[in-house]
Amino acid sequence: MKALTELFSKLVDKIRGVEYIDEATLQEIAREIQRTLLKADVPLDLVKTFTDNAVKRIREEKPPAGIPPREYLIYVLYEELVKLMGGEQPAEFKPTKKPYIVLLLGVEGSGKTTTSAKLARYLMKRGYKVGMVETDTIRPAAFDQLKQLAEKIGAPFYGERDGKDAVEIARRGVTNLKGVDVLIIDTAGRHRNEEALLQEVKAIYDAVNPDEVVLVVDATVGKLAAAQAEAFMKYLPIHTVIITKMDSTARGGGALAAVAKTGARVKFIGVGEDVEELEPFNPRKFVARLLGMGDLDALLEKI
Amino acid sequence: MFNRLKKAFSKFVESVVSTVKEDTLSEKDVNEVISNLYFDLIENDVAVEVADAVTEELKKRLIGVKVPRFGDKEAVVKKAVLEALIGVLSDVPDVDFYQDSKNRLETSRPVTVMFLGPNGYGKTTTLAKLAYHLQERGFRVVAAAADTFRAGAREQLEEHGRRVGFRVIGGSYGADPASVAYDAVQHARSKGFHYVLIDTAGRMHTDANLMEELRKIQRVVEPQYSIFVFDAQLGNEALEIARYYSKYVKIDGMIAAKVDAYPKGGSILTFLYTLKRPVYFLGVGQSYKDLVQFTKQEYVSQLLT
Ligand SMILES: Nc1nc2c(ncn2[C@@H]2O[C@H](COP(=O)(O)OP(=O)(O)OP(=O)(O)O)[C@@H](O)[C@H]2O)c(=O)[nH]1
Ligand SMILES: Nc1nc2c(ncn2[C@@H]2O[C@H](COP(=O)(O)OP(=O)(O)OP(=O)(O)O)[C@@H](O)[C@H]2O)c(=O)[nH]1
Ligand SMILES: [Mg+2]
Ligand SMILES: [Mg+2]
């Protein structure tokens, strides 16, 4: 996060430093916005539309009385960034029935298993009884990994150490952990090129009929998130996205923007390896933090 | 592999061919077409600042190149771009890991290989793949479970050991990773193993304490090879990771994992250019055979075929 924030604050400082916003300055600022977004791993097409939109608004809109043009420019930047990251409203995670079945999927190593435990922990702290199922029959000791995490947080667990059939394990998991409020099903990692594995996760989906499908995306791989999400969406719907490893220098901007494009909602970000290190995602707060929070609050109030 | 990056370069060659007016490439010719290449590189996940530097260097190397007015312009331009790109990466050595480490075995046994890198990029799996290939070549291998932190880390390595047939030393959770690694090396020395492969816990480059811990392992065991494992799908983050990691630890070579996930290939260029270290292998799947040797020479010529 830190480097990304630095990047954007530099941009804001630069804007604050200009005297007048004439066409040449605007072009220069547009170029700077472009570079900043590119460094944040936002895909090129999104960067172009974003910059064009922002520049068009600056040209056409009159700042409200008492707001200097450069401050208004920052405000426009803020608004457009919030849009890019998925809109005003933070998306809530709310189990609506019992048991509420959640299916986690994503590419290899993105953080699914860790996130299963984090999400369980988050819900348990809010009074839900949460069970976890491991269906990964591919990665060695995936069973032990989730089992150890389940023990650590005190959640009921179902898995089969030498299981071969992920679909059957999922089915038996649901039967075995009937009494819980929320059931989190972890799956093996798979990517867009692994056809058989994509079929398998579709079969799990058909077998357990989950209420919410969560795609787990690694913030550090940035731009590819969109392609990954789209590939999965050919097989099953994706409702929610959790972005992990935001404690990196996090170019998470790219992943966030890419995900917003697919229509799925980002609900949480992972900010560390510990089971406690999961934060609800709020696009407005996130962008405010990017642009340097304190200042922005005052500005937003004025507008 | 890396088809889109390849396309970016062939587009570049084409546009150079169609803009060149005189019989040498002028600054104007090159400037006209290089900005497209720049955006194509970024689009293909080369980090922005590396794309800056690479296009700048390419430009310098291309200006003044002689292009025949008649005959096969394209072949000449392609060769010039190829040479320029090789020039850009000229201080990256190509190392055949098998041959190089075999040579070392003659003077020092065991050869110690440490795997390091951020979380979930493929260290443990890559270690198991390398163990498999070394054993296929007739060497005896032992592994150190120096990831004493992540849930299931030890069991994961042990299961690989069972499947591939190597022994795993140490690794009770919470133990000091440096002493686990040290013990494994002592064990290997006394039992005559050829290679010790050390698995370490994944860590974010931003976590100074964990990076210090990694440095300590290197200090204690002095591995002949510290191999940095990265996810080939990385974009701009690659540059930050490279910067931080090289500040804390010694990196002798690299392995790019998950190349089968169809990455665009830019991260490899970022790491080669920034760290100036060889990429020994690419990981191209989840089974043990899925580890292929890599040379920058081949990578570059592949981009320009
Ligand atoms: N720093 C950091 N590490 C994380 C975060 N989330 C997960 N990890 C780490 O990333 C690595 C991979 O996490 P896993 O949960 O095993 O990933 P996975 O998607 O289940 O992996 P596969 O099942 O092999 O596909 C582990 O080392 C985790 O501790 C995060 O938010 N920050
Ligand atoms: N498709 C594919 N998957 C890979 C490759 N290399 C590793 N993986 C998968 O990526 C996931 C994470 O791999 P690990 O070897 O556990 O990664 P790690 O770096 O040791 O992870 P931590 O120890 O948690 O930091 C596993 O599901 C592996 O099967 C590869 O080349 N291709
Ligand atoms: Mg997992
Ligand atoms: Mg590991």
DSSP codes joined into one string, B28-47 = HHHHHHHHHHHHHHHHTT--
Give the per-residue pLDDT at A223. Answer: 77
> Structural domain boundaries of chain B?
3-89, 97-303
The angle, 0 to 180 degrees and rounded to 10, between the axes of the packed helices A44-60 and B27-43 is 100
> How far away is chain A from the Cα of B76, in angstroms, using its nearest Cα?
31
| DSSP for residue A237 | -
Going along A29-105, which residue ranges are E strands? 100-105
Would the pLDDT of A252 be above 80? no
Q: A255 with A221: CB under 8 angstroms?
A: yes
Q: Do A247 and B237 touch (CB under 8 A)?
A: no
Would the pLDDT of A153 be above 90? yes
Q: Do A44 and B42 touch (CB under 8 A)?
A: yes
- Greater confidence (A92 vs B275) lies with B275
Q: Which SS3 state, helix, strand or coil, does residue A50 take?
A: helix
Cβ count near A239 (within 10 Å): 17
Q: How far is CA B180 from the centre of its chain?
A: 26
Q: A252 with A268: CB under 8 angstroms?
A: no
Would the pLDDT of A185 be above 80? yes
Answer whether A255 touches B (CB < 8 Å). no
Q: B93 with A81: CB under 8 angstroms?
A: no
Ligand 1 mean position, distance from CA A111 (Å): 3
Task: Using the CB atoms, write b or e for B114-126: b if 16+ within 10 Å.
Answer: bbbbbbbbbbbbb
Q: Could you report the per-residue pLDDT of A192-236, keeping only the tens digit for each?
A: 999 999 999 999 999 999 999 999 999 998 678 788 888 999 999
Instruction: Label residue A18 by pLDDT band (50, 70, 90).
Output: confident
Could you say which ligand is closest to the alpha carbon of residue A159?
3
Q: List the structure tokens of B260.
A: 């089968």
| Nearest chain A alpha carbon to B232 | A221
CB neighbour list of residue A287: distance below 8 Å, 6 or more residues apart: A78, A81, A82, A85
Helix, strand, coil percentages, rounded to 5, for chain B: 55, 15, 35
Give the per-residue pLDDT at A182. Answer: 98
Instruction: Label residue A262 by pLDDT band (50, 70, 90).
Output: confident
Give yes or no on whether B3-89 and B97-303 have one common fold.
no
Cβ count near A288 (within 10 Å): 20
Q: Is residue B301 within 6 Å of ligand 2 at its C-beta? A: no
- Greater confidence (B39 vs A71) lies with B39
From A116, A273, A278, the mutation candidate for ligand 1 (largest count of ligand atoms within 8 A of CB) is A273
Lowest mean pLDDT among A59-68, A177-186, B154-163: A59-68
Q: Over chain A, what is the mean pLDDT?
A: 89
Q: Which of residues 47-106 of A touch B (CB under 8 A)?
A: none
Q: Is residue B122 within 6 Å of ligand 2 at its C-beta? A: yes
Instruction: Label residue A166 by pLDDT band (50, 70, 90).
Output: very high
Q: Do B118 and A220 touch (CB under 8 A)?
A: yes
Q: Which of residues 183-242 of B touch A (CB under 8 A)?
A: 204-207, 231, 233-237, 240-241
Q: B44 with B4: CB under 8 angstroms?
A: yes
Q: List the structure tokens of A263.
A: 């229509």
Give the per-residue pLDDT at A293. Answer: 61
Q: Is residue A210 within 6 Å of ligand 2 at its C-beta? A: no
Q: B127 with B145: CB under 8 angstroms?
A: no
Q: For domain B3-89, give the CATH superfamily.
A: SRP54, nucleotide-binding domain (1.20.120.140)
Q: Is residue A252 within 6 Å of ligand 1 at its C-beta? A: no
Instruction: Label residue A74 by pLDDT band (50, 70, 90).
Output: confident
Q: What is the C-alpha separation between A8 and A14, in angstroms, rounded?
A: 10
**Among A248, A269, A271, the residue to mutate for chain B (most B Cβ within 10 A):** A248
Cα separation values, B298 from A29, A221, B227, Å: 40, 25, 20
Residues of A in contact with B286 (CB under 8 A): 108, 138-139
Place of tokens 């819900």: A123
Q: What is the C-alpha separation between B166 and B131, in angstroms, rounded?
A: 7
Q: Atom of ligand 1 at shortest distance to CA of B151?
A: 29
Q: Atom of ligand 2 at shortest distance to CA of A188?
A: 27
Answer whether B75 touches A (CB < 8 Å). no
Give the per-residue pLDDT at A1. Answer: 52
Q: Which helix (H) or strand (E) is A36 found in, with range?
A: helix A23-39
Give the per-residue pLDDT at A294. Answer: 58
Residues of B in contact with A45 (CB under 8 A): none
Give the per-residue pLDDT at B68. Answer: 82
| Cis status of the peptide bond prior to A99, with omega within 30 of 0 | yes
Domain over B97-303 is classified CATH 3.40.50.300: yes
> Considering CB atoms only, which of A39, A113, A227 is closest to B236?
A39
Q: What is the C-alpha separation between A30 and A24, in angstroms, rounded?
A: 10
What's the whole-model pTM score?
0.95
Q: B10 with B40: CB under 8 angstroms?
A: no
- Name the residue with the closest Cα to ligand 2, atom 14: B122
> Considering CB atoms only, which of A3, A41, A273 is closest to B235?
A41
Q: B224 with B236: CB under 8 angstroms?
A: no
Q: Which of residues 269-288 of A touch B (CB under 8 A)?
A: 273
What residues pair up with B141 in beta bridges, in sequence order? B195
Would the pLDDT of A260 be above 80? no
Q: A110 with B119: CB under 8 angstroms?
A: no
Section A18-45 average pLDDT: 86
Strand B291-293 vs strand B279-283: parallel, antiparallel, or unpaired?
Answer: antiparallel
Tell me the percentage of chain A whose pLDDT exceeds 90.
53
Amino acid identity for residue A116 in this structure = S
Residues A35, A251, B56: CA angle, nearest 5 degrees: 40
Give the per-residue pLDDT at B238. Answer: 94
Answer whether A162 touches B (CB < 8 Å). no
Q: Which of residues 271-300 of B touch A (CB under 8 A)?
A: 286
Q: Could you report the per-residue pLDDT of B66-85, keeping only the tens digit for each?
A: 888 777 888 888 998 999 89
Q: Is residue A187 within 6 Å of ligand 1 at its C-beta? A: no
Which of A170, A80, A94, A165 lies closest to A128 in space, CA to CA? A94
Cβ count near A157 (within 10 Å): 21
Which of B157, B249, B269 lies closest to B203 in space, CA to CA? B249
Which of A170, A160, A184 lies closest to A242 in space, CA to CA? A184
Q: What is the C-alpha separation between B38 and B47, in angstroms, rounded?
A: 11
Residues of chain B with pLDDT under 50: none
Lowest mean pLDDT among A42-46, A182-186, A238-242, B288-292: A42-46
Q: B148 with B154: CB under 8 angstroms?
A: yes
| DSSP for residue B225 | E
Residues of B in contact with A220 (CB under 8 A): 118, 231, 234, 237, 241
Instruction: Label residue A26 by pLDDT band (50, 70, 90).
Output: confident
Q: What is the C-alpha separation between A191 and B283, in angstroms, rounded?
A: 14
Q: Do B151 and A149 touch (CB under 8 A)?
A: yes
**Among B124, B127, B148, B204, the residue to mutate for chain A (most A Cβ within 10 A):** B204
> Considering CB atoms only, which of A39, A108, A245 is closest to B48?
A39
Q: List the structure tokens of B133.
A: 């290939």
CB neighbour list of residue A274: distance below 8 Å, 6 or more residues apart: none
CB neighbour list of residue A58: distance below 8 Å, 6 or more residues apart: A21, A26, A69, A72, A73, A76
